[in-house]
Structure 1
Amino acid sequence: MTTKRLDYLPALVLFARIVQYGSLSGAAKHSGLSRSAVSKQLSALEEKLGVRLLQRSTRNVRLTEAGKQIHSEACRVLEAFESVETLSDEMQGEVNGYLKVSCSTGIGRVHLVPLIKQFNALYPKVHVHLMLEDRFVDLIDEQIDVAIRVGHLPNSSLIALRLGEMAWAVCASPGYLAKNGTPKQPKDLLQHNCLCYRNGQSSFDNWLFNSNAGEERIAIKGALSVNDSTALVQAAEDDQGIVWVDKNSLGDALEQGRLVQILQDYALGVGYPIYALYPARRHMPIKTRVFVDFLAEHFAPRMRYK
């Protein structure tokens, strides 16, 4: 390999990191460079290759068609560099770096944010970037180190660690029930304002109940639907209606009486499993390994309802 070709390598790594962190500023921060230095290296790489790799704006960057092709190869170079860094960190016993974590909003706010405070106390040199959003995230394309996923997993090359499972409950506030009455059977919900979780991909507006009499499905209606389960719980606590929710996402709302559970004579089905997912790599970064180990030890105890 000629010296001229070797000159490409640092710029390719930097290009991959710009995409990984979503901006020139992000790549600069985590590469120990100024933003202007990152911009100059990117421009020099584009000039050498004779193509534009990124469409830049003041807030973010977007890959061009040529950039998408070269990015896949740049990621291989980045992975090789990171493998060397991982081996070096392991030899030195040092845990540091930038850790990108994806999680749904409800689980993230109730469980993950408090745990990350504990994690940072143990590993202060690890910067955790937590992405809270209820959408499917491609770990490889979006350079996610660890994702917390809910539901049954399709076959993939990702490694999965089971952390727990959801436990369903139908709840309302004492204030709402005092004003509107307490449903005694599922069909009574048709006379109530039911709060619905809805995002761009799905709508949870059919509630399924099981009893000795069989299965009963209720198409609930209400004045509010939300794409954030935490906001849905807050609305229920504010006397706005009845909610179907994972009890583990309620915090201390049941213990403190802000919400009460109703229709407890009916089975609501098995809750969805919760997993930590991370890409399979020849050399797993030590920051990823300690974070996954930390979740295995500290996340499961928070799943107190089964």
Structure 2
Amino acid sequence: MDDLRRMAVFAAVVQHGSMSAAARALRMSTSAVSQQVRLLEQGSGVTLLHRSTRKLALTDTGARFAEHCHTMVSAAAQAQAQLALAHDAPSGELRMSAPVGFARHIAPALAPLLADHPSMTLRLLVDDALINLVDARIDLALRAGRLPDSTWVAQRLCDFEWVLCASPDYLRRRGEPATPSELAQHQWLVGSRDGSALQVELTGPEGERETLRVEARIASNNQLSLEQMCAAGLGVGMLTHPDVHEHLQSARLRRVLPQWRLPAGPVWAVTPQRDTQPAKVRHAIAALRAHFAAMPGTRS
């Protein structure tokens, strides 16, 4: 056990770059840190560090050994986190909010968590408007895209890939664009509250970039409505890949300019407080992150 403690001290020295910095992080004296490393070297009969008045340098053996020490410390931290989660099991009402387009993901993401913890309940508010988390007593909100400045805490869950889509019927009627410039001649379904034009930024297969501004024939602040109208053949839509994956697989929708990429959009877990989160919130965020990571069209 003494060796394990000394390995952790050694890992801290390597991480922080000096005995004194490691001592501050570990809340030990510099001499105590130095002694732990010296005892580790004496016990193994191997020099791990070259010491000078200016800096410490790892020996080749020390560098290889440090990697394993860091792995050990990381594993210990993960084990402690699991114990904390087991001790503080999720319970009580979890109040969540999410845009309409995200509501479809809540059930598959949280179903295992709710099944494993019968004392936990869920109150889900679905609204495309930005709900005030404090006024609505929301524990956890799902948000997408750029977030407004606020005192709330946001954790990035993943990025959703955006794709240009249209129905096969629409493409037969209007023709399939071969270049980005041809997109301006098409009918557009735009995610907007006021019907404003959409700026589309595309990156080509060779890294070339195209930016164009398209006018909306149909505008909606609801992504699910845009998805339905796109499938009904009303125009070209910029939609999130995870949401239209099944439509693309079934050929109900087709990708437009599939060799060109759109910027990905971040998905956030937003909470109203900065201090330690209750178990129900931590477990819900972990479940959402795991669910999104397994979905096609997302990036961690």
- Tell me the TM-score range normalised by the shorter chain: 0.5 to 0.7
Q: Which secondary structure does the structure 2 equivalent of 1:299 belong to?
A: helix
After superposition, residues 1-306 of structure 1 pair within 5 angstroms as 95-109=90-104, 111-153=105-147, 156-199=150-193, 203=196, 205-211=198-204, 214-222=209-217, 224-268=218-262, 270-280=263-273, 282=275, 284-302=277-295, 304-306=297-299
Aligned partners of 1:284 and 1:213: how far apart in 2?
44
One-letter code aligned to 1:292: I
**Using a 3 Å threshold, how does the CA distance of structure 1 residues 176 and 135 change in structure 2: closer, same or farther?**
same
For residues 143-194 of structure 1, what are the alpha-carbon distances to aligned partners after superposition, in whole Å with 9 as ceiling and x for unaligned? 2100112124456543332211021111111111122211112232333221
**Using a 3 Å threshold, how does the CA distance of structure 1 residues 229 and 180 change in structure 2: closer, same or farther?**
same
Aligned partners of 2:298 and 2:151: how far apart in 1?
30
One-letter code aligned to 2:259: D
Q: Which secondary structure does the structure 2 equivalent of 1:139 belong to?
A: coil
Task: Judge conservation of contact 1:186–1:218 (CA < 8 Å) in 2.
Answer: no
Deviation at 1:213, TM superposition (A): 5.8
In the alignment, structure 2 segments of 5+ residues that lack a partner are 1-84
Deviation at 1:215, TM superposition (A): 2.8
Task: Judge conservation of contact 1:97–1:287 (CA < 8 Å) in 2.
Answer: yes
- Whichever of the two has the greater Rg, that structure is 2
Aligned partners of 1:102 and 1:125: how far apart in 2?
20
Aligned partners of 1:246 and 1:127: how far apart in 2?
29
Deviation at 1:131, TM superposition (A): 1.7
Aligned partners of 2:267 and 2:297: how far apart in 1?
13
Q: Which secondary structure does the structure 2 equivalent of 1:116 belong to?
A: helix
Task: Judge conservation of contact 1:170–1:261 (CA < 8 Å) in 2.
Answer: yes
Aligned partners of 1:173 and 1:294: how far apart in 2?
33
Aligned partners of 1:221 and 1:93: how far apart in 2?
50
Deviation at 1:298, TM superposition (A): 2.6
Tell me the matched-pair count.
213
Q: In the alignment, what sits opposite 2:55?
A: none
Deviation at 1:120, TM superposition (A): 2.3
In the alignment, structure 1 segments of 5+ residues that lack a partner are 1-89
Q: Which secondary structure does the structure 2 equivalent of 1:266 belong to?
A: coil
| TM-score, reference length from structure 2 | 0.62
Task: Judge conservation of contact 1:194–1:241 (CA < 8 Å) in 2.
Answer: yes
For residues 76-126 of structure 1, what are the alpha-carbon distances to aligned partners after superposition, in whole Å with 9 as ceiling and x for unaligned? xxxxxxxxxxxxxx99866432211111221222x2233233332222332
